[in-house]
Amino acid sequence: MVVGTHAENATVLFTDGMKDNQNRTWACVRGAAILQQGSTLLAFSGGGTSCSDGHIGFRILLRTSTDDGETWTNATAVAGDDHTVGGYIAPIVDQKMGKVILLYNRRFVETWQTSSTDKGITWTEPVNITDAIGVVSVGPPGGVQLASGRLVIAGHGANGTFALYSDNGGENWTQGKNISFPVGVGNGGESSLVDDGRSPTSLAMTIRVNTKDVLVNHAISYSDDGGETWSNASAVTSARGPTCQGGIGHRKDGGGLLISWPNYPRWRYPEDRKNMSVWLLAENKSAPANLTGPERLVPVAGQQIFAGPSAYSAVSADGRWVMFEGGASYRYASVMIARVNITAPLPL
């Protein structure tokens, strides 16, 4: 694997201590999700009253760009209220309906949904959909729309990791089958998915896991039926780093899957979450014949995006952007975005 030099084009979108459009100051910003709706980029994060678990007060924050990331609007408070934080943000674009749908958790036991038909300027009143889908955690980050119009996001709960999908614009959601994990790979839950280009109904998901090797902390699983069922998860053994949520995207030029998470050859939580990196995965055609699906994927090129402390991340569905938590001395000091610039895969 080749890891490039430090990227100098990271743009800070959200910072600890920032104010939103309601003039409320947020002591801590957490979470990253990047969507594209037409020519508009939408970047979501969360503002909290502190960075500790269980703090009171939380709002989902949004900044948008209409010039491909050159300039951004000020932060707007989208949804949330004064409650005990615990959960994730999972936005998704319904390109056919011209709508952005936002699912988010409260206290890890409730899922709420809101939507916007004007690219995030105004939002519907949030609705609690927990009774309909059960107690699940959504993402993070968001999901994708398949050619059929189906919306799909990753989810996990006490019983496992799966996809949630909707064939009617988010009016109803169905939970797919749980993903199976091999012996020695423990399901860590946090997951992200993307349409991977193998077929109109195919998806790939990256999942936070734990293994006997403390630097092998992510797995990949495939779906061929729009998220209803999934292949056995396979650990990504070559793209190493400390345990942390990761993102996934797909280069639409046929260049393969992109995955993101901190890349540091030591694990001593939390100090060793640093060096945010993106890897390009491709099929190793020389792999043994008994290896199938995600087991044949290996990192063939990479880019170090940010050398400092960093944590959760999201890759845009088309693989052009990575959005991540990070800062010069603290991993939750800000949320940044950078262009992904990885050359074509190396010969295998």
- Over residues 23-47, the pLDDT tens digits come to 999 999 999 999 999 899 999 999 9
Count the neighbouring beta carbons within 10 Å of the beta carbon of residue 161: 27
The answer to whether residue 320 is domain-embedded is: yes
Q: What is the pLDDT of residue 296?
A: 76
The answer to whether residue 273 is domain-embedded is: yes
Amino acid sitting at position 271: E
The answer to whether residue 127 is domain-embedded is: yes
The answer to whether residue 101 is domain-embedded is: yes
Higher pLDDT among residues 198 and 227, named by residue:
227
The yes-or-no verdict on residue 86 having pLDDT over 70 is: no
The yes-or-no verdict on residue 1 having pLDDT over 90 is: no
Q: Is the dihedral of CA 240, 244, 245, 249 positive or negative?
A: negative
Q: What is the pLDDT of residue 345?
A: 54
Q: What is the pLDDT of residue 56?
A: 61
Average pLDDT over every residue of 142-162: 95
Sheet strands side by side (includes 297-315): 11-15, 334-339, 321-326, 297-315, 274-283, 256-262, 247-251
Q: What is the pLDDT of residue 295?
A: 73
Residue 208: give the domain boundaries.
11-339
CATH number at residue 265: 2.120.10.10
CB 150 within 8 A of CB 171: no
The answer to whether residue 347 is domain-embedded is: no
- pLDDT-derived band of residue 3, with 50, 70 and 90 as boundaries? very low
The answer to whether residue 344 is domain-embedded is: no
How far is 217 from 210, CA to CA, in rounded Å?
5
Q: Nearest to residue 80, comparing CAs of 42, 29, 41? A: 29
Q: Nearest to residue 182, comparing CAs of 216, 228, 226, 227? A: 216
Q: What is the pLDDT of residue 6?
A: 37
The answer to whether residue 236 is domain-embedded is: yes
The answer to whether residue 346 is domain-embedded is: no
Looking at the structure of the chain, the number of domains it has is 1
- Reported as a single tens digit per residue, the pLDDT across 276-330 is 999 998 877 777 877 777 777 778 888 999 999 999 999 999 999 999 999 999 9
